[in-house]
Amino acid sequence: MRIAAVAEAFRRLREANPHPTTELEYASPFQLLVAVVLSAQATDKGVNIATRKLFALAPTPEAMADLGEAAIAEQIKTIGLFRNKAKNTALLSRQLLERHAGEVPNDRAALEALPGVGRKTANVVLNTIFGEPTMAVDTHIFRLANRTGLAPGKDVLEVEKRLLRRIPKEYLRDAHHWLILHGRYVCVARKPKCGECIIRDLCLFKDKTGTGP
């Protein structure tokens, strides 16, 4: 996809959804951090169901550390990998208290040093909480970037770097959310809804489905 087409794609995405945000439910930076850690190999809907109960009991790092791994696991047992996620949630809560005075750090290295936090999770937090123009490449964005020709790459890091280079600066703040939502609801894995796609005519995918502009 040519750079002019990339700019037009994001113009349309912004016009359709001027203020995109994550579908994870949270009331603080700490809660978003935990929700993103829990979202690995789980749906946002499933995570929200679990965190409503969890955050009611433990809304802060102090309360989460006090709650402990076993009780956390009991609250999140409906989502995948819940035992390991409960362990990481308890550990990262304690580390936030011990190393960051209970605050979520605005620093990639510090975030990635927390248990259960990788590059993608750090990018989500840096973007959603701190407004940094980062790009958290999940399976939806990886698929969409390659399928459409927006920013093809062999792995998530290559796609991330290409997206950051190719997306005009005025769209970078919200680009991550637009792409996730588009990949989640329109450019889906098995049967992409090309007939509903507002960037269909810009997309380089050869096997488009349905009808459209």
Residue 188: per-residue pLDDT? 95
Which of the following is catalytic: 107, 138, 161, 208?
138
Q: Is 193 a catalytic residue?
A: no
Q: How confident is the model at residue 211 (pLDDT cuts 50, 70, 90)?
A: low
For the segment 18-35, what is each residue's pLDDT rounded down to a tens digit?
Answer: 999 999 999 999 999 999
Q: What is the distance between the alpha carbons of residues 114 and 118, in angstroms, rounded to a whole number?
A: 8
Confidence band for 210, pLDDT divided at 50, 70 and 90: confident
Mean pLDDT of the 135-157 span:
95
The model's pLDDT over 68-112, given as tens digits with 9 standing for 90+, comes to 999 999 999 999 899 999 999 999 999 999 999 999 999 999 999
How far the first Cα of the chain sits from its last, in Å, is: 17
Q: Is 138 tagged catalytic?
A: yes
Average pLDDT value for the chain: 95
Cβ atoms of residues 175 and 10 within 8 Å: yes
SS3 123: helix
Q: What does the buried/exposed string (b/e) look like for 15-37 if buried means 16 or more CB atoms within 10 Å of the residue's CB? A: eeeeebebbbbbeebbbbbbbbb
- Burial bucket for residue 209 (CB in 10 Å: 0-12, 13-18, 19+): middle
- Calculate what percentage of the chain has a pLDDT beyond 90: 94
pLDDT number for residue 167: 96
Confidence bin at 212 (pLDDT 50/70/90): low
Q: How far is CA 31 from CA 24, 63, 87, 183, in A?
A: 10, 12, 16, 24
Q: Which of 120, 161, 191, 206 is catalytic?
A: 120
The type of residue at 97 is L
Query: Is the overall model pTM greater than 0.85, yes or no?
Result: yes
Of 59, 31, 15, 66, which is closest to residue 171 (Cα–Cα)?
15
Q: Is the pLDDT of residue 209 over 90?
A: no
Residues 77, 56, 30, 139, Cα dihedral to 10°: 40
> In the structure encoding, which two tokens stand for residue 17, read together?
């959804």
How far does CA 134 lie from the centroid of its chain? 11
**Which single residue is written with the structure tokens 């020709």?**
149
Once rounded to an integer, what is the mean pLDDT over residues 120-138? 94
